[in-house]
Amino acid sequence: MTTYTAPVEDMMFLYEKLRNNKSYNELEKYKDVTPDLVKNILEEAAKINQNIILPLAKVGDEQPATLENGVVRTPPGYKEAYKKYIEDGWTSLSCDPKYGGQGMPKTVSAFFDEMLSSASLSFKLYSELSIGAYNCINHHATNEVKDKYLPKMVEGKWSGTMCLTEPICGTDLGLLKTKAVEQSDGTYKLSGQKIFITSGDHDLTENIIHLVIARSTDSPSGTRGISLFLVPKYIVNDDGSLGPRNGISTGSIESKMGIKGSATCVLNFDDAVGYMIGPKNKGLNSMFTMMNLERIVVGIQGLGISEIAYQNSLMYSKERKQGKSNNNKTSNGSADFIIEHADIRRSLLNMKSIIEGERALCFWLSQQTEVSLNHENKKIKQEAADFVSLMTPVVKALFTDMGSEITSEAMQIFGGYGYTKDQGIEQLYRDNRITPIYEGTNSVQAIDLVFRKLVNKNGDIIDRYINMVKKEMEINNNEKIAPFIAILDTYLEKLSSFTSWVKDKIQNSKDDANAASNDYLKVLGLVAVGYSWLKVLQVSFEDYDNNKIFYEDKIQTANFFFQRVLPRIDAHCSSAMSGSRYIMDFKFN
């Protein structure tokens, strides 16, 4: 079984030292969120994740959610843990106090998301989609609907889902078949089938609030005719009490490679009563409020699983003896701990440098998200929103791809033991493997980035981002950081050249741009992580004497990232800019 210690010290370092975003610090609503308060929250979060939720990971894998006589039952221990989870208020952490929430910023809730992903992704998924549904309802529903549904969802007694995928369509939602028939009282009756619905049914909450996309019978075909509906498992009476069961049934639970404790359901809607959320035929716009935030959270899942994989790999490498390292000059044939071997150290530093850089990038993105939602200045708000839009597919895809790489390396460090179930490492690999797939596959993220996010109606977003990074590098005059700036500047120029090439290909050879999109996302992502490391290094050099051990660790970890990880950019650029000719001209037999 894996062990886990929440990285509270590193999280607090980011919150205390990298919360230097001027626009973020202008947000009045978070003036009372002090470092002491955040530290108390994170320490309590660490306790529940380490002591109560972590043991559920193995239980859920060995005794998955089941469907019995139409009732979905969660794994042993989930009910008790979930009761404690909502009693302690974790579902309400980032929600509006108007509906019973604690009103914490994303800069805090993102840390909790990471911890929960490390402890048990399966358990996390029962509340994660609820927060997404909460955000969607809060942004697009009427005040009457908000007042009726949100307090119970914030409390955690009701949960939520997102119902998009159907047997006939995944990414191409214009093909969906679920129909909605308007009734005389203004409600709709929905009929159709949705698949791959995370936490689609379970026994943890009194009610489940499904957000369902469907086509009204008088709407046009394609994505232009999609509307969003709120469809509760149990009808909610006017006084807030629960009425009869709605026309929703669970057809089956998917038998999956990983996250087995999470019930991934086939849901059948048979004249289920639904309520339209947002404007008619604009359902995708409303749903993307939920999906875009969820994509960032999925990236954090990859980060959280990477962290626990690294922790266990490091611990094992200090306990396992195997072979003699090059520094072992003894003649008695005694073996060394494997952490003494150069290649094991390379693997560990690869994990560590990527994880800590990703966490810093995520913290920067959390600040941008809050500015995009809450700043009073429309120009500042829009610029932050554009940067969030640019980085959303990057964080989702890069963090989850790196999660696959890191969990695979962890298994390699454990050797044969890593391949067995006893250690829990192979489960981390299996649990993470869904993260590059759901909420839009990583190839979809890359295509979305290249064709929709680099330049949009608000202008050339990628050029603004590159110029922002350049400007910050130019004003940083600390001579100790100069070698790092020089390296990043080299790769920033390569990103700039790659960007120009991509923009040209979008106009003149879309196959070239399409074939290069995955490489482009990784190049932008690695530069963004490098930029985040510069922010960490700036503090580390300036504050070095106050915490030498901590900051020396940061500096040496950054050294590895700049010397051994950033150079991956060379291969991505060279491969991508070879074009698509040898891809599209190939004749498959």
Asked whether the predicted pLDDT for residue 329 surpasses 80, the reply is no
* Helices (H) then strands (E): counts for the chain: 20, 13
Q: What's the confidence (pLDDT) of residue 322? A: 87
Asked whether the predicted pLDDT for residue 291 surpasses 90, the reply is no
Positions annotated as catalytic residues are 439
What mean pLDDT do residues 347-359 have?
Answer: 98
Give 170-187 pLDDT, tens digit per residue: 777 778 899 999 999 999
Asked whether the predicted pLDDT for residue 150 surpasses 70, the reply is yes
Both tokens of residue 455?
A: 């330049």
Which candidate, 343, 362, 260, places its Cα nearest to that of 302? Answer: 362
Asked whether the beta carbons of 204 and 240 are under 8 A apart, the reply is no
Q: What's the confidence (pLDDT) of residue 290? A: 77
Q: Is 3 domain-assigned?
A: no
Alpha-carbon distance 176 to 97, whole Å? 37
Q: Is 588 domain-assigned?
A: no
Q: What's the confidence (pLDDT) of residue 328? A: 63
Q: How many other CB atoms sit within 10 Å of the CB of residue 140?
A: 22
Give 94-121 pLDDT, tens digit per residue: 999 999 999 999 999 999 999 999 999 9
Residue appearing with tokens 């947000």: 27
Asked whether the beta carbons of 3 and 315 are under 8 A apart, the reply is yes
By DSSP bridging, strand 207-216 and strand 226-232 are antiparallel
> Who wins on pLDDT, 422 or 58?
58
Q: Is 386 domain-assigned?
A: yes
Q: What percent of the chain has pLDDT over 70?
A: 99
Asked whether the predicted pLDDT for residue 330 surpasses 60, the reply is no
Q: Is 328 domain-assigned?
A: no
Alpha-carbon distance 451 to 520, whole Å? 11
Alpha-carbon distance 422 to 434, whole Å? 22
At 93, which amino acid appears?
L
Q: What's the confidence (pLDDT) of residue 324? A: 75
Q: Is 528 domain-assigned?
A: yes
Residues 6+ apart with CB under 8 A from 207: 152, 157, 158, 159, 232, 233, 234, 236, 242
Q: How confident is the model at residue 478 (pLDDT cuts 50, 70, 90)?
A: confident
Which candidate, 213, 235, 237, 236, places its Cα nearest to that of 226? Answer: 213
Q: What's the confidence (pLDDT) of residue 332? A: 57
Asked whether the beta carbons of 180 and 216 are under 8 A apart, the reply is yes
By DSSP bridging, strand 158-163 and strand 207-216 are parallel
Q: The domain spanning residue 555 has which CATH number?
A: 1.20.140.10
Q: What's the confidence (pLDDT) of residue 354? A: 98
What mean pLDDT do residues 136-155 have?
Answer: 96
Q: What percent of the chain has pLDDT over 90?
A: 89
Residues 6+ apart with CB under 8 A from 309: 351, 406, 407, 409, 410, 425, 428
Residue appearing with tokens 């230097």: 20
What mean pLDDT do residues 162-166 have?
Answer: 93
Alpha-carbon distance 492 to 33, whole Å? 35
Alpha-carbon distance 429 to 411, whole Å? 8
Q: Is 148 domain-assigned?
A: no
Alpha-carbon distance 78 to 59, whole Å? 9
β-sheet bridge partners, residue 159: 208
Alpha-carbon distance 403 to 354, whole Å? 10
Asked whether the predicted pLDDT for residue 295 surpasses 60, the reply is yes
Average pLDDT, the chain: 95
DSSP SS3 for 72: strand
Asked whether the beta carbons of 94 and 86 are under 8 A apart, the reply is no
Both tokens of residue 219?
A: 């709407």
State the first-to-last Cα distance of the chain, in angstroms, to the nearest integer.
46
Residues 6+ apart with CB under 8 A from 46: 5, 6, 8, 115
Both tokens of residue 419?
A: 């391949």
Alpha-carbon distance 14 to 253, whole Å? 40
Residue appearing with tokens 């060394």: 336
Backbone angles phi, psi at 269, to 5 degrees: -105, 115
Alpha helix (H) residue ranges in 476-547: 482-508, 510-542
Residues 6+ apart with CB under 8 A from 184: none
Alpha-carbon distance 484 to 559, whole Å? 8
Backbone angles phi, psi at 127, to 5 degrees: -105, -20
Give 516-528 pLDDT, tens digit per residue: 999 999 999 999 9
Q: What's the confidence (pLDDT) of residue 331? A: 52
Domain of residue 395: give its range.
288-320+338-581
Q: How confident is the model at residue 224 (pLDDT cuts 50, 70, 90)?
A: confident
Alpha-carbon distance 264 to 202, whole Å? 10
Q: DSSP letter string over 411-448?
A: HHHHTHHHHSSSSSHHHHHHHHTTTTTSSS-HHHHHHH
What mean pLDDT do residues 452-481 have?
Answer: 93
In this structure, what DSSP letter does residue 204 have? S
Asked whether the beta carbons of 11 and 42 are under 8 A apart, the reply is yes
Both tokens of residue 560?
A: 């590895």
Residue appearing with tokens 């490679």: 257
Looking from the CA of 368 toward its CB, the CA atoms found within 13 Å total: 20
Both tokens of residue 234?
A: 């149990």
Q: What's the confidence (pLDDT) of residue 131? A: 93
Q: How confident is the model at residue 534 (pLDDT cuts 50, 70, 90)?
A: very high
Cβ burial, residue 525 (10 Å; 0-12/13-18/19+): buried
Asked whether the beta carbons of 353 and 561 are under 8 A apart, the reply is yes
What mean pLDDT do residues 309-337 have?
Answer: 83
pTM of the model: 0.96
Asked whether the predicted pLDDT for residue 496 surpasses 70, the reply is yes
Structural domains in the chain (count): 1
Q: Is 388 domain-assigned?
A: yes
Q: Is 482 domain-assigned?
A: yes
What mean pLDDT do residues 16-26 have?
Answer: 94
In this structure, what DSSP letter does residue 321 have? B
